[in-house]
Amino acid sequence: MFGKLTWDAIPWNQPIPLVAGAVVVLAVFAVVIWVVLKGYLPYLWREWITSVDHKRIGVMYTLLGVIMLLRGFIDAIMMRSQQAIAFRAAGYLPPEHYDQIFSAHGTIMIFFAAMPIVIGLMNFVVPLQLGVRDVAFPTLNSTSFWLTATGALLVNLSLVIGEFARTGWLVYPPLSELPYSPGVGVDYYLWALLISGVGTLMTGINFVTTILKIRAPGMSYLRMTIFCWTALAANLLIVAAFPILTATLGMLALDRYLGFHFFTNDAGGNMMMFINLIWAWGHPEVYILVLPAFGIFSEVISTFSGKPLFNYRSMVAATMFICLVSYMVWLHHFFTMGAGADVNAFFGISTSIIAVGTGVKVYNWLFTMYGGRIRFTTPMLWSLGFLVTFTIGGMTGVLLAVPPADFLLHNSLFLVAHFHNVIIAGVVFAAFAGITYWFPKAFGFKLDEGWGKAAFWLSLLGFYVVFMPLYVAGLLGMTRRLQHYDVAAWRPWVLVAGIGIVIMMAAAACQVIQFVVSVRRRNELRDATGDPWDGRSLEWATTSPPPPFNFAVLPNVQGAEPYWGIKQRAIETQQLSPEPKYEPIEMPRNSPTGFITAFFCTMTGFALIWHIWWMVALGLLAAYAVFVWFAWRDAVEYSIPAEEVARYDRERRRAREQWLAQHGGQPA
Amino acid sequence: MSATDTPFERAGDPYRVGRSRDWVSTGAGRGHVYATGHGEGGPASKRVIVGYGFWIFLLSDIVMFSAFFAAHAVLQTATAGGPSGRELFNLWSIVAQTAFLLVSSFTCGLSAVATEARNQLWTQVALLVTGLFGLGFLVLEGRDFAGMVMQGAGPDRSAFLSSLFAVVGLHGLHVSAGLLWLGTMMAQIFVKGFRADILRRLVCFNLFWHALDIIWVALFTVVYLIGLGR
């Protein structure tokens, strides 16, 4: 009846996951009960769960990412503390549990923290910067989000029902094959990623179409912001890379479920093919994450330097160059495969060359700041911290790109320190810069600067204290993923890293406090004009938060940095442009399709993991039924009458005129 | 997002081949500057957006197939002492499958012609014939698969057979999904007529069905023709 699922699946004898799981389950229940009792459920259902508004979906993506970031961070704390005490000792985490933690840490951080935050920010910002009302396929967008949430749910479910993979975050065979991983851990991994991967692929399709086909009149390619360019590059990479992930994990699933021999030891299977395929996805994935991060930094640095971005065109060229070359470097993840000197030399050189594109960007950011009037706000601090820290990470990357050096450093903590150096400084700092920068646009009030700056300085310090020692430990020969060790020379470095994680915890606490304090002080932090940072691109042309339709009239773009142009014209002439003619706006209706699809996908995924075949059939049947039901709908859009649009826009213009009267004399 | 905007009317068909040079007027870029969905023309029409998005999906689908093709290319000789393609493939069945699929693509094209003429009856007939040929293809393929499994050459026999069943089976899965879609489309046309959104979906379905043909051509070549020589 329930396949492999029995009461033994719950880890009764392991107090840590049991208690953690119980706390999470209780917290979720408490929230649900609070929502129901307060009567917020209809509101949540109408305005958020079924919403197809790109801004709402963006906020939900980001929220999911931030929660998962905390979840992955707890794993990090456990690993650092385990290694700090497991010198010639067993520590407090048994090996099979420790192995699950480092696997879950990587999986959660990449797929369910970094990706949702990056995709969430793209969702929120890209249509606004392009000057349009929504993405190309709004309901598909909602479905993408809910499928990602399904994946996150399945991974977290493994904490209390069954187990997670013990294979590392990329489930290398043959360890991940059935004989060596007979439990459900790898299956949780496979189905969580296969389902959320479909969601990500649909996001990629959606955004490529949006950026290439839906832009405001006059918004030619070379007038788009760098964030839109990097979003385009990242989504092109998603479209070209995520199908490879789906195929690869599909093959592993066939091996495990139906006795295929793609990657097995026997019958001609080829496990190095898995490593090649997974990194043919995995390296572009690095750039899927970091290119939008570069875009965020470009926006932030230009805004807070009060200057247009230095050498915009070379920035575009560098972005597309990285987009292309990111497909030609995957083998540097396994120089030790033994592909031979020629192959390794090719990939070593291509890896070094990709740093050129990044170097161009770093110089452009520096020259953007040169001669500018820099405002050291929280987003700007994150950007400066990124510039310094990321450059160090890039340089250790170039060291690792040299195959002979890589033979020594492969799978050592030097590697671990390197990729954390680029991902934390690149993606995580960008996430916080972006969240702080666009938060007022999303919610109408700024985040508290004091706590934000405290979070930044503690994060920066904590990062260096954790990872610089790990570089040294790696050079001393310490390999990654050690549950315990007995080399005395590594001990002090591991201890320092353990202290660093405490600093990082303080930084995380500051972030949480920052949100709480900001919400409480929201009236003082209110953004009345919609342009709190003296911005340059179109998202600042509308109110904070923007109306569902974003712009009362689609902006007519007449140059790069369109909003800066509008603003300067208004300051020069001391008046806004004449009131446009308002027309009714057609907007897509909300739809529960995404949520229902995800519900049945969760059901199907769970059933597949536990071999509950009748439930698999039921889930697939239901998914098809939802598809037909959605296709059958007749009313797709609703109309916002012209009077309402006019009422909204006149109010916005009043606020702008007020601002102009106060600040008109000098350019803000 | 109307189909005609003012610059469009002012200057004729901006999509016409060879017209791009006439459009360099403002120095703000080349090509179809004033056509919607291009350059400075503003958002494209829904018809263009849907078609374009579906093309991107098809490209991603082809990337997924290419991963399975690559795996098959690597594992084609990994027979692990089991049967090879030369011993297993029934060329006449494969020729019949190819013919079925190509004919179904042709009738799919005919359905598009009938749709263009807004002819409900012939659209339905052409789609039905398309579906029947698709079904015939699946039956033949299923018979081949069953036969191989019977003689102990199932996907668990060797890595070669694993990759064979996977890549051919994935195509078969696509055809099956296409048949479900086709049936749904026929019901929709019957109930709702040639509404704008139904027409857009029909365009997507046509693209999908022809793309499956293209993939089959690659399958026929890489898996069967090359496989027969091994």
Q: What's the pLDDT at B9?
A: 43
B70 contact A CB<8A: yes
Q: Band of the pLDDT at A664, cuts 50, 70, 90?
A: low
B5, B67: one domain:
no
CB nearest A214 (choices: B43, B61, B197): B43
**Residues of chain B contacting residue A251, judged by C-beta atoms under 8 Å apart:** 68, 71, 166
Q: How far is CA A315 from CA A288, A318, A383, B191, in A?
A: 16, 5, 16, 52
B66, B27: one domain:
no
User: What is the C-alpha separation between B71 and A273, in angstroms, rounded?
Assistant: 7
CATH number for the domain including B184?
1.20.120.80
B23, B74: one domain:
no
- Per the annotation, the verdict on A419 as an active-site residue is yes
- Shortest CA gap B94–chain A (Å): 23
- Per the annotation, the verdict on A141 as an active-site residue is yes
**pLDDT tens string A594-649:** 999 999 999 999 999 999 999 999 999 998 898 888 888 888 889 999 999 999 99
Write the secondary structure of B135-193 as one string of H (helix), E (strand) and C (coil). HHHHHHHHHHHHHHHHCCCCCCCCHHHHHHHHHHHHHHHHHHHHHHHHHHHHHHHHHHC
Closest by Cα among A172, A243, A168, A170 to A205: A243
Q: Band of the pLDDT at A668, cuts 50, 70, 90?
A: very low
Contact A240 B80 (CB under 8 A): no
User: What is the C-alpha separation between A431 and A454, in angstroms, rounded?
Assistant: 16
- Per the annotation, the verdict on A144 as an active-site residue is yes
Q: What's the pLDDT at B8?
A: 44
Q: What is the mean pLDDT of the segment spanning A160-180?
A: 92
- Per the annotation, the verdict on A350 as an active-site residue is no
B147, B87: one domain:
yes
Contact B63 A267 (CB under 8 A): no
B183 contact A CB<8A: no
DSSP state of A426: I
Q: How far is CA B86 from CA A438, B167, B194, B228, in A?
A: 62, 18, 49, 4
**Residues of chain B contacting residue A629, judged by C-beta atoms under 8 Å apart:** none
B59, B15: one domain:
no
- Per the annotation, the verdict on A148 as an active-site residue is yes
User: What is the C-alpha separation between A608 and A4, in angstroms, rounded?
Assistant: 10
In a mutational test of the B interface, the residue from A137, A200, A244, A262 whose CB has the highest number of chain B CBs within 10 Å is A262
Residues 92 through 121 of chain B touching chain A, CB cutoff 8 Å: none
B1, B72: one domain:
no
**Residues of chain A contacting residue B41, judged by C-beta atoms under 8 Å apart:** 217
B29, B70: one domain:
no
**Residues of chain A contacting residue B157, judged by C-beta atoms under 8 Å apart:** 267
B126, B30: one domain:
no
B81, B22: one domain:
no
**Residues of chain A contacting residue B192, judged by C-beta atoms under 8 Å apart:** 634
3-state DSSP assignment of residue B1: coil
Which residues neighbour A526 within 8 Å (Cβ) at sequence distance 6 or greater? A444, A445
Residue B113: phi, psi to the nearest 5?
Answer: -65, -45
Distance spanning both ends of chain A, measured CA to CA? 69
Q: What's the pLDDT at B23?
A: 45
User: What is the C-alpha separation between B134 and B130, in angstroms, rounded?
Assistant: 6
For residue B180, the chain A residue with the least C-alpha distance is A624
B39, B74: one domain:
no
**pLDDT tens string A278-331:** 999 999 999 999 999 999 999 999 999 999 999 999 999 999 999 999 999 999
Contact A243 B75 (CB under 8 A): no
Q: What is the mean pLDDT of the segment spanning A60-69?
A: 96
- Shortest CA gap B169–chain A (Å): 12
- Per the annotation, the verdict on A361 as an active-site residue is yes
Q: Band of the pLDDT at A666, cuts 50, 70, 90?
A: low
B120, B217: one domain:
yes
Number of domains in chain B: 2
**Residues of chain B contacting residue A137, judged by C-beta atoms under 8 Å apart:** 53
For residue B25, pLDDT beyond 50:
no
- Exposed, middle or buried by CB within 10 Å (0-12, 13-18, 19+), for A613? exposed
Q: Which residues make beta-bridge pairs with A638?
A: A587
Per-residue exposure over A325-339, b if at least 16 CB sit within 10 Å of its own CB, e if not: bbeebbbbbbbeeeb
- Per the annotation, the verdict on A410 as an active-site residue is no
Which residues neighbour A292 within 8 Å (Cβ) at sequence distance 6 or greater? A118, A121, A122, A227, A230, A231, A234, A430
| Count of Cβ atoms closer than 10 Å to residue A658 Cβ | 12
**pLDDT tens string A463-484:** 999 999 999 999 999 999 999 9
For residue B27, pLDDT beyond 50:
no
Q: Band of the pLDDT at B24, cuts 50, 70, 90?
A: very low
User: What is the C-alpha separation between A156 and A146, in angstroms, rounded?
Assistant: 15
CB nearest B61 (choices: A136, A241, A243): A243
B5, B96: one domain:
no
Domain span at residue B38 reads: 1-43
Q: Are B161 and B153 in contact (CB under 8 A)?
A: yes
Q: Which residues make beta-bridge pairs with A585?
A: A640
pTM of the model: 0.93
